[in-house]
Homo-oligomer: A and B are copies of this chain.
Amino acid sequence: MATAELAKNPANYTTLTPLTFIARAALAHPDRTAVIYGDIRRSWAETYRRCLRLASALQALGVGPGDTVAALLPNVPEMLELHFAVPMLGAVLNAQNTRLDARTIGYMLDHGKAKVFFTDTEYHQRAAAALSDCRQPPLVIDVCDPHVSEGRRIGRISYDELLSQGSEEFRWQPPEDEWHSITLNYTSGTTGDPKGVVYHHRGAYLNALSNVIGLGLPSGAVYLWTLPMFHCNGWCFPWAVTAVAGTHVCLRQVQPERIFEAIRAHEVTHFCAAPVVLTMLVNAAASTQVHFAHPVTAATGGAAPPAAIIEAMEKLGIRIVHLYGLTETYGPSVICEFQDTWAGLPLAEKAGKIARQGILSLSMTDMMVADPATLEPVPRDGATIGELFLRGSTMMKGYLNDPEATAKAFAGGWFHTGDLGVWHPDGYVEIKDRSKDIIISGGENISSIEVENVLYRHPAVLEAAVVAMPDPFWGEVPCAFIAIKQGQALDEEEVVRFCKANLAGFKCPKKVIFLDELPKTSTGKIQKHVLRSRLAAMSA
């Protein structure tokens, strides 16, 4: 078959970009509600027009292909619009974690060479402090949310003023190359400066479709924004929900009563959240909780959802889908695909299945648990620990201006996740720990997650985290940090007794520290490095 002459042309080859999703949503369902926020209701036609205006106004400010536009915003409609308007110019959106300190914000503005900086007036103090140190301060645009009472403007112009300068006649072009950068996401940077992870249009398109299929988003899905949009671009859901012309329900603050009320009032079909948010929902006052009559699916990731949480969520009428991913993989890259046969299992057993991270998502191509030194896959025995490696279409281009870290992350033609786990006979991977969180005690590996899972089963435990504590004899031993549920009591002796009844002796915590709340990142991950520092300070 001689097909060399069958080349690409403008009719048979177009680049993949999530921008086609919003154009299609506006064409296919112009009158359907695209955005709900407080009293605001906007259709897809209106939302698309606003994005076109925003893009044209940014273009007039000099923003063009390859320029970075930073945004320090909660889950408000403006943040959603930026996910389309900025790529319309071929520019790159840097959605920043709103809980970071001024120094880190300034670092990201400088490192990413932000040309424009959108900031919510609530964050004016940190934003101003960050800008004062910038080598090349960007143009600042205030997003003035009427829900903010203590806000102050620090920019030259407001989002609404900018929008009023734009034109709906703006015509965007898809990127010439689908490898063109679309967003820049900084890792949480628990050690050292954060790294700038770069996504491309192709990956954003493909992960959006993978999310739609993986979570079963129907046309017109109603999606609640509990997961921050600054976190891996909201796991690519700004684009996924738009691909099905669904409704984005924005939420400024993650509070249980607001989540329950939003799900009920808008008949939310899907949301994403870290397990800690699910814990909040489950432990909310009974008067706040709503048992939903319509089907609700919640995707969770970042840590394995404890069995008790899965059970309690199901009782509220919420189906849990466990996902795994990293900033480097556009969010979801591994999914705990539910097996038909699990439906009939006793809950504890079913929860154990769901707590595993799972198998490749649709947009990923290859996965292995392997020896990080040799890249030799470990046996699928559910016991041998190795590092998780990934390959696929929804993998970052690399770290911005950091060729060394990029080369290290992709060494050997695989992405090194830094997560340690086992490979089960059914092909599902189960993360046991971050490389740096594993506890090595007397030559034995102890998975801090395994110990934490046991602690979570104790009825008085609200939150638990286990870290390594230096020990002159064993090298390291486990130390547990615990927050107790309201109205409950617990002491070290009871914790140790409970662990001994459920774990091998060497895995039991040798020290238990009680806190009223465990320190967490903005995305709800418990900050073990903070706990380690506290432990070091206590021992010093």
* 0/1 interface trace, chain A 97-139, chain B, CB 8 Å (1 if under): 0000000000000001100000000000000000000000000
- Chain B residues lying within 8 Å of A14, measured Cβ to Cβ, are 365-366, 391-393
Interface-located stretch among A277-285, A395-403, A495-503: A395-403
Partner of A244, one of B67, B113, B213, B392: B213
Indicate if A525 sits at the interface (CB-CB under 8 A).
no
Partner of A243, one of B337, B362, B393: B362
- Chain B residues lying within 8 Å of A92, measured Cβ to Cβ, are 1
**Are the C-beta atoms of B213 and A9 separated by less than 8 Å?**
no
- Chain B residues lying within 8 Å of A27, measured Cβ to Cβ, are 359-360, 427
Given the known interface contacts A113-B1, A401-B2, the answer about A341 and B31 at a Cβ–Cβ threshold of 8 Å is: yes
**Are the C-beta atoms of B113 and A184 separated by less than 8 Å?**
no
- Chain B residues lying within 8 Å of A68, measured Cβ to Cβ, are 1
- Chain B residues lying within 8 Å of A341, measured Cβ to Cβ, are 31
Which residues of A in the span 1-43 have a Cβ within 8 Å of any Cβ on B?
A: 1-3, 5-14, 16, 20-21, 24, 27-32
**Are the C-beta atoms of B415 and A11 separated by less than 8 Å?**
yes
How far, in Å, is A276 (CB) from chain B's closest CB?
28
Nearest neighbor of A112 in chain B, beta-carbon distance? B1
How far, in Å, is A116 (CB) from chain B's closest CB?
13
- Chain B residues lying within 8 Å of A219, measured Cβ to Cβ, are 213, 216, 337-338
- Chain B residues lying within 8 Å of A184, measured Cβ to Cβ, are 1
* 0/1 interface trace, chain A 334-376, chain B, CB 8 Å (1 if under): 0001111100000000000000000110100110000000000
Partner of A10, one of B29, B209, B391: B391
Indicate if A300 sits at the interface (CB-CB under 8 A).
no
Indicate if A174 sits at the interface (CB-CB under 8 A).
yes
Give Cα A7 to B6, complex, Å: 26
Which residues of A in the span 185-244 have a Cβ within 8 Å of any Cβ on B?
A: 198, 206, 209, 212-213, 216, 218-220, 243-244
- Chain B residues lying within 8 Å of A6, measured Cβ to Cβ, are 181, 198, 397-398, 400, 406
How far, in Å, is A304 (CB) from chain B's closest CB?
19
How far, in Å, is A103 (CB) from chain B's closest CB?
21
Indicate if A159 sits at the interface (CB-CB under 8 A).
no
How far, in Å, is A380 (CB) from chain B's closest CB?
11
The interface of chain A, by Cβ under 8 A from chain B, is 1-3, 5-14, 16, 20-21, 24, 27-32, 66-68, 92, 112-113, 174, 179, 181, 184, 198, 206, 209, 212-213, 216, 218-220, 243-244, 337-341, 359-360, 362, 365-366, 390-393, 395-398, 400-401, 403, 406, 410, 413-415, 426-427
Can you list 5 pairs linking A and B with CB atoms under 8 Å apart?
Answer: A3-B66, A3-B198, A3-B400, A5-B406, A27-B359
> Can you list the 7 inter-chain pairs with the closest CB atoms, starting with the nearest?
A6-B397, A10-B413, A12-B395, A14-B365, A6-B398, A11-B415, A28-B337
